[in-house]
Amino acid sequence: MMAGRFHSLRKPLVRWFWMVVLSGLCLQLFFLAHIVLMARIAPESTSFQRSQAWHIAQSKEGLRWQQDWVAYAQISDQLKRAVITSEDDIFATHDGVQWDALEKAWSKNAKAEQLASKQQRKAPPKIVGGSTITQQLAKNLFLSGERTLLRKAQEFVLTLMLEAVLSKQRILEIYLNNVEWGQGVFGAEAAAQHYFGKPAAQLSAWEAARLAVMLPRPKFFENLPRSEYLLNRADTIVARMGNAQLP
């Protein structure tokens, strides 16, 4: 009787399995098609920007938005060097992932999960990752802000797609034109105008370094423009920028 019941369930389970596989494949093809288009056409918005626009629109201040796309050549080399130095020092040469940093991140995640299990936490631990510029772009373009192993795996696949289809210059160009630099401030041109009243092409080394240091926590540093950490870290970035390799 049990064998007969298993046999009756087998076909629906197999059908369900292949539907899941096919859906996953279609999703990857959808992402790939969008990335191919980005080789020629700038993305109108990113998943992260759309989520931020919703939050800003719901706030009492209303929607406040600054963003102007500029070509790679119109972004100061100082800013490119500063961001690479601060965020991803071997951006020009890696294949999208810094494997050493990723290994350390996986180790940290494993320890966090073990600790959460021992303490019987209901909420899952936050998943961290040694994200490169390409990985950050993959996440911002297509994914939600949740930190789970499944989302991190999808980010990894998208990163490989971006590196396979787009040049390093194009990846950096899209990143710098879409990354958040404050509440409703997106992209290098908007950031340069917002903080220094000048185009992104004219940023000095120190101004570029200051913007680069803001990237992990742009809204926080927007409200603390003279913080000791921000100023000292900017000086450190300026001192190291000469070693940054541009794509």
**CB contact at 8 A, 189 and 68:** yes
Is the model's pLDDT at 124 over the cut of 50?
no
**CB contact at 8 A, 133 and 162:** no
Mean pLDDT of 12-33: 85
Mean pLDDT of 221-235: 92
Question: What mean pLDDT value characterizes the chain?
Answer: 85
Is the model's pLDDT at 160 over the cut of 80?
yes
Residue 154 or residue 12, greater confidence:
154
Is the model's pLDDT at 157 over the cut of 50?
yes
The answer, as to whether pTM is greater than 0.75, is: yes
**CB contact at 8 A, 87 and 205:** no
Q: Which run of H or E residues covers position 211?
A: helix 205-214
- Gyration radius of the chain over CA positions: 21
The 10s digit of each residue's pLDDT in 64-85 is 889 999 999 999 999 999 999 9
**CB contact at 8 A, 71 and 187:** no
Mean pLDDT of 114-127: 51
Angle between helical axes of 77-87 and 228-240 (0-180°, round to 10): 110
**CB contact at 8 A, 68 and 223:** no
**CB contact at 8 A, 196 and 207:** yes
